[in-house]
Structure 1
Amino acid sequence: MTTKAENTEKQSNRNTLLFLTIFTFLIGEAYILLNKYHWFILFNLIPLIAIIIISIFYFTEWTIFFMVFVTPLAIGLRELEITQNFDLSIPTEPLMIIFSGIYLINEWLKGITPKQVFKHPVSIIIFIQILWMFITTLTSMNILVSLKYLIARLWFVISSYFLMTYLFRDFNNIKKFIWMYLIGLSTVAVITIIKHAEYNFHHKIADWIVTPFYNDHTAYGAALALFIPATISLMIIEKNALKTNILLVLTVLIITATVLSYARAAWVGVIFALLTFITLLLKIKFKTLLITLISSLIIIFSFSEQILVLVGKNKTDSEGGLYENVVSIYNIKNDASNLERINRWNCAIRMFLDKPIFGFGPGTYQFFYAPYQISKEKTIISTNFGTGGNSHSEYLGPLSEQGLIGLIIVSLLTVLVFSLGYKLAYSATGQTKILSIGIFLGLVTYFIHGFFNNFLDTDKLSLPFWAFIAALVSIDTYHKPQKQLL
């Protein structure tokens, strides 16, 4: 046993070390203020980084939830004007990198993930996707860009999917995840709505009012739409009256924020989620829906010319108010935003036709699509150098960058997640059933949104997207439904 004198000496040493640390930091602070003011923000991140590192090792689970909470609030290095050479979302992406490393070390030493998770069809298709991205990186037209893209995808998937399947062994952690991200997202929503109100909620202001948290109002809308069904499901299963009322307020808040985001793709995603919910109420099997969908696509393709003529009569532009934005969703006549998307999609298809097997390489679309533009398809938004954008599609992007196999893999992932969502909706019971439906419908909003935009190369959408898939896989693996109907 240690004596009282020894304890006193140890405490004295700790106090001395703490004093010297604070004193050294203050000296550094004074020097930065006088000589290197442009390093002020970065220098003041040091204490925060130290606290986070200590927390990672002593309070790992809660540090993960801190990462979840802060993701909607994270700001990029470029936005902070620290650097223009590369961008990193602070503090989210550094945390993702650290947690990815910790997970891989633990998996290597202890094998913390059950084999059922790795053998799950969804996990297998994710492995295949990563493998194909690696192969197409080797054949890329710009290997450095593709390698960066691949590495970023790895830390997104490891920290947001595989790590979460470990965390979600406890069913309550799924609910905690929704809570933490929702609180962060709601904070952004409140700030954005207050700022937007100063401009009478003008639709043009929605494009930039979400900065510095989001660089695009459509990404903000996608995140909001993703959490509408999940928040409602959490509210339904919550037994605490106070928490239920809080969730009701948050539900109204994020629905309002979604409308005011003027993100039309997010609105379409929510509508499709509602239609999917109706099919669940009617207990329609996913196989039946899949066959119906394929048949419908064949019919639509057969009458594509007549449909284009009909749709072409819509000349309502999104430059108007809320009503005009809704009506302009299917305007392919003179709406610049819609026409630019069509321009980008056509470029992606032409790029695919040039390199149908391996594509141009992951993350390279924006560097190579410019020559594939046709004059008659260009809009006032288009640029001759192809700057300022990507393919605007989670499906055509991989087609142009990773070839036909890239599109097939993404399509299979979509089908498998839908199949799993329907399976859990019909076979689970109680809280598990309700939460599964909410999470699945949230994913539906993004799978639909993915036809119009692509944000899975950002932490803001990658974390909730992969974590929601991890939640469904975890429910299927750890929290077995009592009966199987599919």
Structure 2
Amino acid sequence: MMFLLLLTVGLVFSYTRAAWVSLAGALGMFLVMKLRVPTWVLLLLALAGGAAYLVERDQITIALERNRDESSDDLAEHVSSISNISSDASNLERINRWNSALRMWQERPLFGWGPGTYMFQYAPFQASEDRTIISTNFGRGGNAHSEFLGPLSEQGVLGMLLMVALVAVTIVRTMRLFQRLPEGEDRRLLMAAFLGLVTYYLHGVLNNFLDLDKASVPFWGFTAMVVMLDLKNPAPQRKRQVS
């Protein structure tokens, strides 16, 4: 209990907005797993959410642009600034990096610019209207800020599809495995590893740190744990009917 309290206090006072969003998503997935929500329901909800965004995209953008709260030491204002895409320099710079990644992909759509090259190549792809007070033309200050758009610019459409496939397959296999596992150590271990992955899947929409060992080791370690548990607890084979 003391460890959980310290972890919560550390997370709150880290003032890392992407981590807060990721934790909220992990809590939602925890409820989904405990309630045993079928995978097809999750897919249906995802499709419905995507369709709703496409229909109401302009209204959503207008609502977000009304938010003027910027990241600060005030906790409530810092939380509110998560959706500020009109004046918060950090959020605007993230959009600048995303747009630069898309322009890089448009120039080399199939194979991209090469692994690890984004930070050295993106500067000329910045549009003047996207630049912020923290924009730079020198190969420093981070990367594409997305585990999906980063591979898209560096390895082309195949790179992004591989990342999407990794996430999708891991989610589907985990949900199926969790539903057939009995209560016990393996089930708890699977949930812990998968929820850790969920936090990074969500975090990876806003940042990319898999090129750093501090993020790469737990990410691939948790993925390996899911694979190990899936191999350890195979699905029962259906008996073929002999006619």
TM tier, smaller? over 0.9
* RMSD (CA atoms): 1.7
Aligned residue number for residue 288 of structure 1? 41
Q: Provide the C-alpha distance between the structure 2 equivalents of 1:481 and 1:325, rounded to a whole number of angstroms.
A: 46
The correspondence of residues 85-164 of structure 1 with structure 2, limited to 5 A, is none
Summarize deviations over 1:271-301 as a string: whole Å, max 9, x none.
0011111222332112321232123213202
Please list the CA deviations of residues 302-345 of structure 1 after superposition, one character each: whole Å capped at 9, or x if unmatched. 32111100111111000242111111111101111111000000
Rate the CA distance shift 1:444–1:451 in 2: closer, same or farther, 3 A.
same
Residues 427 and 483 in structure 1, CA contact (< 8 A), matched pair in contact too: no
Amino acid in structure 2 at the alignment position of 1:400: S
TM (norm. structure 1) is 0.47
Is 2:5 the partner of 1:252?
yes
Amino acid at match of 2:150: G
Which runs of no fewer than 5 residues in structure 2 stay unpaired?
239-243
1:474 counterpart residue number? 228
Alpha-carbon distance, 1:377 to partner:
1.1
The 1:250–1:482 alpha-carbon spacing in structure 2 relative to 1, beyond 3 Å, is: farther
- Partner in structure 2 of residue 441 of structure 1: 195
Is structure 2 residue 120 aligned with structure 1 residue 341? no
Aligned 1:34-433 pairs, distance under 5 A: 248-385=1-138, 387-429=140-182, 430-433=184-187
SS at match of 2:206: coil
Q: Pick the structure with greater CA Rg.
A: 1
Q: CA deviation at 1:480?
A: 4.5
**Distance in structure 2 (CA, Å) of the matches to 1:465 and 1:384:** 31
How many angstroms apart in 2 are the aligned matches of 1:470 and 1:459? 16
8 A contact 1:428–1:481 mirrored in 2: no
The TM-score normalised by the length of structure 2 is 0.92
Work out the CA distance in 2 between the residues paired with 1:344 and 1:287.
34
User: Following the alignment from structure 1 to structure 2, what is the Cα–Cα distance between the partners of residues 386 and 291?
Assistant: 41
Question: How many Å apart are 1:481 and its aligned residue?
Answer: 6.9
Q: Which has the larger helix fraction?
A: 1
**Distance in 1 separating the partners of 2:228 and 2:236:** 15
Alpha-carbon separation, structure 2, partners of 1:482 and 1:329: 45
Provide structure 1 residue ranges, at least 5 long, that are not aligned to the other structure: 1-247
Cα distance in 1 for partners of 2:178, 2:104 equals 39
Amino acid at match of 2:153: S
Q: In the alignment, does 2:200 pair up with 1:453?
A: no
Inter-partner Cα distance in structure 2 for 1:392 and 1:265: 11
3-state DSSP of counterpart to 1:343 = helix
Give the distance between the partners of 2:53 and 2:110, measured in 1 at CA.
27
Instruction: Provide Cα deviations, 1:198-227, integer angstroms capped at 9, x if missing partner.
Output: xxxxxxxxxxxxxxxxxxxxxxxxxxxxxx
CA contact (8 A) 1:395 1:451 kept: yes
| Residues 431 and 401 of structure 1, relative CA distance in 2, 3 Å threshold | same
Tell me the amino acid that sits aligned with residue 91 of structure 2: N
Letter in 1 for 2:12: V
Question: Quick one: structure 1 residues 483 and 320, their matched pair in 2 at CA, closer, same or farther if it must change by over 3 Å?
Answer: farther
Q: Cα deviations across residues 62-95 of structure 1 (Å, max 9, x unaligned)?
A: xxxxxxxxxxxxxxxxxxxxxxxxxxxxxxxxxx
Q: Contact (CA 8 Å) 1:394, 1:454: kept in 2 or not?
A: yes
| Number of matched pairs | 237
1:77 — aligned with what? none
Asked if the contact 1:266–1:449 (Cα under 8 Å) also holds between the matched residues in 2, the reply is: yes
Per-residue deviation, 1:482: 7.7
Kept in 2: contact 1:428–1:482 (CA 8 A) = no
Deviations 1:332-363 (A, max 9, x none): 01111111000000100111111111111111
Cα distance in 2 for residues equivalent to 1:358 and 1:481 = 37
Helix, strand or coil at the partner of 1:377: coil
Please report how far the alpha carbon of residue 260 of structure 1 lies from its aligned counterpart in structure 2 after TM superposition. Answer: 1.4
Contact in 2 for aligned 1:360/1:401 (Cα 8 Å) = yes
Structure 1 runs of 4+ aligned residues shifted over 4 Å read 479-484
2: distance between equivalents of 1:337 and 1:402?
26
Identity of aligned residues (%): 45
Q: 1:400 Cα deviation (Å)?
A: 0.5
Post-superposition CA distance 1:385-415 (Å, at most 9, x none): 3532100000000011111111111001010
